[in-house]
Structures are given as structure tokens and as C-alpha cells.
Amino acid sequence: MKNIKTSSFQAIKADIMEKIKSRYWAPGEIIPGEEKLAEEYGCSRMTVNRAVRELAECGVVERKRKSGTRVAHQPDRAAKLQIPIVRKEIVARGSAYRYALLENSVEIAPDGVKAKLALASNSKVLHIRCLHFADETPYQYEDRWINLDRVPSAKDESFEEISPNEWLVEKEPFSDAEHAFSAEIADKEIADILGIREGDALFVVERRTWQQNDTITAVKLTFPGASYKLISRG
């Protein structure tokens, strides 16, 4: 509320963050508009804009034109991993994104998958395999199993236009996630898919997500050689 001595977007950012952490502004609540805040802090709107924009980029607040800025739900505490949308990652790097669906089928879960997803016997799962390209070069191979008991609407989505990654991130919130990182050597099958040589190094992420006690999905992401990005916020 009170003016801050050294007007600066960092101080304003910290002050807003403090008001949110202290629940002075509760989750879901609308905080004052940029103009109002600029007046309160005694600075220009651009300075407030930078502060609030960066908080929005970190997911602390959500902004919408006309409605205003509200405190995000999820009292995100200790390092929770964000699950990235591959398409956005690629576009953010300035590369052209292309997506290709390789397989989309309903199956009785194989034993390994049944165990990973903690499924009952004979449960049906959706098996999706697809490929993400950056500038027409294979960037990530996605091999995913979705628990249809928990996410039945996945059956009705073709996944030809939108990847299961993006679809799930947008439609299915999760409460817990587990990531396992590893390195593998490419066999012929995966080498062909990714357009690399047999024996090349692969970077593998295996992820499972839950909503409460229900497993939503298990996915194996395979990257050719190089690297991968994960962001967590505290």
C-alpha cells in the first residue's frame, strides 16, 4: 500500500509477492490494475507492468484483459515441476514446430504399463506414439499411455492436430508427478524414428502423473543426444 523508497520493478515485484504470500491478496482475488498500482507505488505504469508481467510469467498471477490480474491458485510451494508444452518450447526457441501422430489405439494394458499406472486387470488404456519436430528435425519422441478409467474423454480426441502432451497439460491437472531421467543407446527402431544412427546417445525422461490417488498418464520421452529443459519454481 505504502510507497516504496526505491521505486523499481524488482522492489514492486517483491512487494506484490509478499502481499500474496501473506494472503493480503488471496488466491483467486483480483489485485489492483496497473494504473492503480503505479499510483500507489509512485512510479510509471511501465514499471508496474514489468513487475506484474514477470510474476505472470512465473505463474504467480494470471492476467486477462479487461478482467484484470488475479492471484493464481495453487499455493505452489517447494519445487514443483512444471510440465512443459513441447510445442511452446520449440516455438520459443524460434524454430518451426511440427507434430506427427504415429499411433493412437485403445489397448488392454500390458503388464508393465498396468504396473506403472497401478491399473486393475483388463483395464483399457490409450496408447499414443508421436513425434515432435523442430525445423523438420525430430526433436522428441513421445510414447504415452493414458488411463482411460480416469480420463475417458481422451478416447474422443483424435490427437491428430494436438499432441497428447499439450492436450493433457491443458485439460488434466495433476497433483503429483514423478520424473526419471536416464541415458540410453539408440537401437535401430528408435534411431529410424528420430533420424539418427544406431548407437547414438539418447536422453530419456519417464514421467508419471497423478491426480490425488489416480494415475493419469505414463509417458516416455526420448530426445536425440543433446538436452532437455525443465523448469521448477519455488
| Cβ neighbours of 204 (radius 10 Å) | 16
Among 47, 140, 147, 209, binds DNA (CB under 7 A): 47
Residue 26, interface with its own copies (CB under 8 A)?
no
Of 55 and 126, the one with the shorter C-beta distance to its own copies is 55
CB of 134 to its own copies, least distance (A): 11
Residue 35, interface with DNA (CB under 7 A)?
yes
Residue 202 near residue 183, CB atoms below 8 Å:
yes
Residue 46, interface with DNA (CB under 7 A)?
yes
Q: How far apart are CA 111 and CA 118, in angstroms?
A: 10
Residue 227, interface with its own copies (CB under 8 A)?
yes
CB of 221 to its own copies, least distance (A): 11
Q: How far apart are CA 172 and CA 219, in angstroms?
A: 15
Q: How far apart are CA 64 and CA 84, in angstroms?
A: 21
> Which of the residues 32 through 91 are near its own copies (CB under 8 A)?
58, 60, 74-82
- Which of DNA, its own copies, none sits in contact with 182, Cβ below 5 to 8 A by type? its own copies
Place of cell 533420424: 195
> Which of the residues 162 through 221 are near its own copies (CB under 8 A)?
174-185, 199-205
Of 95 and 104, the one with the shorter C-beta distance to its own copies is 95
**Angstrom distances, CA of residue 208 to CA of 16, 95, 122, 183, 228:** 34, 28, 20, 18, 17
DSSP string, 53-104: HHHHHTTSEEEETTTEEEE-SS---S-EEEPPPHHHHHHHTTPPEEEEEEEE
Cα dihedral sign for 155, 158, 164, 169?
A: negative
Residue 124, interface with DNA (CB under 7 A)?
no
- Residues found near DNA in the complex (CB under 7 A): 7-11, 33-35, 42-47, 49-50, 52-53, 56, 63-69, 120
- Residues found near its own copies in the complex (CB under 8 A): 13-14, 17-18, 21, 58, 60, 74-82, 92-95, 174-185, 199-205, 223, 225-234
